[in-house]
Structure 1
Amino acid sequence: MSSRQIAAAVVTYLIKKRKEKKEKNKRKIWVRKWIQRRATLGLHEKLLNELRMEDLQQLKNFLRMSAKDFDFLLGLVKEKILYKKDTKMRQAIRPEERLSLTLRFLATSDSYHSLMYLYRIPVCTIARIVPECCAAIVEALKKEYLKVPNTQEEWIRIAKDFENIWNFPNCLGALDGKHVVMQAPPCSGSYYFNYKGTHSIVLMAWADANYKFIYVDVGCNGRISDSGVYNMCSLSTALENNTVNLPPPQQLPGMKNFSPFVFVADDAFAMKPNLLKPYPFKNQPGPNRVFNYRLSRARRIIENVFGIIANRFRVLTFGY
């Protein structure tokens, strides 16, 4: 055989294989019949409407928020997730269905396959809806509900709450990191592998005396320690550059010396001018033990906040 004949044979063989692959991967069903009945038999048309009319407490348990809060959140994100239109082929998934699906996933951490049978929405569609809705929720709420203080009056108000509630003056917040367990991405090796023996990303957060998040940094790989995550976050940079408008040092109760305002953290963090941690080692003298007790009492706020949010949204439970 000549070289031209060999090349023609190879090309013919490749074309044949490509056709066979297309036939093999050809979609057998466009939309399953039981999914097509979502408009009449779906979760919103049946269960959620019944719970809204008959049992608001169970509706709150299902969505992890009241019907009033759900409607308020839907009003904020509706325009951000309403970009699909009905066609002659099928009806678009409504914004309320997209939002309740996302909240149910966050509340239970159910797999997409489990949610598919509950909502009559295919897995491939759920995989797009959940990230889109989460991004819309963050965009709608971050300016109003996740705002770092920018005036000295706001900082002093937080410090007063810590002094009145937890007996720790000049404290601006409790700081800690939480590992959120996840499935390691392909070809990531040990990049996300943490000291607990799992793969995770780190949620670095700071909370005030009333169990409210003031600052959140999420996404750093779990291989990095809490101190390393803090050193790389924007809060550390802002404190070092003095761009957060902290109030000047004030006198502690019963003391003449002036002390700076600080954040409290555990032993995983390095001591800094505005970052305070307990005395190390055991057998400390009495005043040091009292100080460690007071600091730990204030610092456990962030631990409690992690517990509260993990109990409310079980997608974070496995990292707690």
Structure 2
Amino acid sequence: MEDTDVAIAAAAVVVLSCAKLLLENKKRKRRTRRWWMLSLNKSRGRYNGSDMLLDLRRESSGKFENFCRMSAEDFEYLLNKIGPKIKKQDTNMRQAIPVKDCLAVTLRFLASGDTFTSLGYLFKISHQSISRIVANVCEALIEVLKDEIRLPHSEEDWRRIANGFYQRWNFPQCVGAIDGKHVLLQAPFNSESKFFNYKKSFSIILLALVDADYCFTFIDVGAQGRMNDAGVFACTTLYRKMIRRELLLPPNEPLPGRHKSVPYIFVGDDAFPLSSSLLKPYSGNHAKGSIERIFNYRLCRARRIVENVFGILASVFRVFRTPMLIQPEKAAMVCMTCALLHNFLRRSNTSRQIYSPNGSFDYEEDGHLKPGTWRQETSNSSLTPLSKTPRKPSQEAKDIRKEFAEYFITNGAVEWQDYVN
């Protein structure tokens, strides 16, 4: 064998030896798993979330209702609906987490906003498992409750909403109050500045339309916080149907006691552009008793209903109290779940008073605003307003707003409007 061959063979032996040593060192340094399950979580077989719920139901002081934000009857109803969708099979290694525990930990997460680690101590479930459970349960709840939020499909349905606004707030031909909020998040992974909003924080946008009974009729959630707020509205199915006149709204007609026909409209704030279908306040400061100031006051009364809905949402579902420590996709799922639960609980015979007892919403006495109880609890809400949208409206839109404004100082005037605004 020549010297060159010997040198090559020796080098190969050295390389292989080094590789073997590195592999052995890596195996020695590899962290061995210390346990399959935390000793705390092993005790779940003796006392688990289902046992805790049973104890809460035995209490007569509303502990269960406070814990889950609903009646035991509605909890069982939802459990039966989502159970087949989220049930897991037991394995030889361990038993699956009961479906009842999965629903309970998800509802407690929405109600408290506690971290998955904190909930893990309470339910004796690992925070990794809770993360998966919350996503699965929210997805199942969205599927079974999806019909709780839907736009009206007929003139009759729209007229019913309009009648509600007229009876409650003296605002005719109003078919919904619209508003949007930034839902604050922790800095998402690899997001760069996509979710960075005008207030220098990370968020997704929640846009909602509500009726006169404080229920959602439309939700759009998940738009990146950096997007222009008017642009978000323009991308929604609601806006597209609005401009294409596909909403099946009642035909134009005069306001009570007037002669000029005007359309049925939505009401919003300065975050939305004035149009023939959406009224917003007159900008600037106006003299007391002026037509502009009275219009703004009357519109504010009708629009306050959506402010109350967001207030109750953040008051009951305290996951909205602080920036969500989850990724944007899951945050959007959480928002949609809470909105669907809001409508479900508002319409429930057994949970309505638990979710929004008397006095929860703002009300009026002799024209004076009495704040709802939610205002005492949401000062630190992570739902923040959208930015204002300056945009030149069409002459048609301005004429429609003027007709409403003139109605409010003539046929539609209320006796207290001159001294409370």
TM-score normalized with structure 2 length: 0.71
| 2:120 is the counterpart of 1:119 | no
1:169 to 160, 166, 172: 172
Deviates more, 1:206-215 or 1:56-65: 56-65
Instruction: Classify 1:13/1:252 alpha carbon distance in 2 versus 1 (closer, same or farther; 3 Å).
Output: same
In the TM superposition, residue 200 of structure 1 has moved relative to its aligned partner by 0.9
**How far apart, in 2, do the equivalents of 1:210 and 1:237 lie?**
25
| 2:99 is the counterpart of 1:62 | no
Alignment-derived partner of residue 291 in structure 1: 295
Alignment-derived partner of residue 138 in structure 1: 142
1:238 to 238, 241, 245: 241
**How far apart, in 1, do the equivalents of 2:259 and 2:21 lie?**
87
In the TM superposition, residue 55 of structure 1 has moved relative to its aligned partner by 2.9
Instruction: Classify 1:7/1:196 alpha carbon distance in 2 versus 1 (closer, same or farther; 3 Å).
Output: farther
Partner of 1:37, secondary structure, is helix
In the TM superposition, residue 169 of structure 1 has moved relative to its aligned partner by 0.7
In the TM superposition, residue 195 of structure 1 has moved relative to its aligned partner by 2.3
- The answer to whether the 8 A contact 2:112-2:319 is kept is yes
**How far apart, in 1, do the equivalents of 2:13 and 2:183 lie?**
54
- The answer to whether the 8 A contact 1:56-1:66 is kept is no
TM-score normalized with structure 1 length: 0.93
Instruction: Classify 1:255/1:33 alpha carbon distance in 2 versus 1 (closer, same or farther; 3 Å).
Output: same
Q: Deviation string for 1:50-72 (max 9, x for gaps)?
A: 11112351111111111111111
- The answer to whether the 8 A contact 2:49-2:104 is kept is no
**How far apart, in 1, do the equivalents of 2:182 and 2:195 lie?**
10
Letter in 2 for 1:34: L
Q: Deviation string for 1:283-303 (max 9, x for gaps)?
A: 257112111111011111111
Deviates more, 1:212-221 or 1:309-318: 309-318
Q: How many pairs align?
A: 317
Alignment-derived partner of residue 392 in structure 2: none
**How far apart, in 1, do the equivalents of 2:23 and 2:13 lie?**
15
Instruction: Classify 1:268/1:7 alpha carbon distance in 2 versus 1 (closer, same or farther; 3 Å).
Output: farther
Instruction: Classify 1:43/1:160 alpha carbon distance in 2 versus 1 (closer, same or farther; 3 Å).
Output: same
- The answer to whether the 8 A contact 1:212-1:305 is kept is yes
| 2:185 is the counterpart of 1:182 | yes
Partner of 2:180, secondary structure, is strand
Q: Deviation string for 1:180-207 (max 9, x for gaps)?
A: 1111212212211122332111110110
Alignment-derived partner of residue 248 in structure 1: 251
In the TM superposition, residue 316 of structure 1 has moved relative to its aligned partner by 1.2
Structure 1 segments, 4+ long, off by >6 Å, are none
- The answer to whether the 8 A contact 1:108-1:313 is kept is yes
Unaligned ranges ≥5, structure 1: none
In the TM superposition, residue 88 of structure 1 has moved relative to its aligned partner by 2.6
Deviates more, 1:100-109 or 1:85-94: 85-94
| 2:27 is the counterpart of 1:27 | no
- The answer to whether the 8 A contact 1:48-1:59 is kept is yes
Letter in 2 for 1:42: N
In the TM superposition, residue 43 of structure 1 has moved relative to its aligned partner by 3.0
Unaligned ranges ≥5, structure 2: 1-6, 323-381, 384-421
- The answer to whether the 8 A contact 1:194-1:224 is kept is yes
**How far apart, in 2, do the equivalents of 1:275 and 1:158 lie?**
16
**How far apart, in 1, do the equivalents of 2:100 and 2:256 lie?**
52
In the TM superposition, residue 44 of structure 1 has moved relative to its aligned partner by 2.2
2:78 to 70, 73, 79: 73
Q: Deviation string for 1:261-299 (max 9, x for gaps)?
A: 111110111112211101111125711211111101111
2:261 to 253, 258, 262: 258
Alignment-derived partner of residue 336 in structure 2: none
Larger Rg: 2
- The answer to whether the 8 A contact 1:56-1:67 is kept is no
Instruction: Classify 1:239/1:18 alpha carbon distance in 2 versus 1 (closer, same or farther; 3 Å).
Output: farther
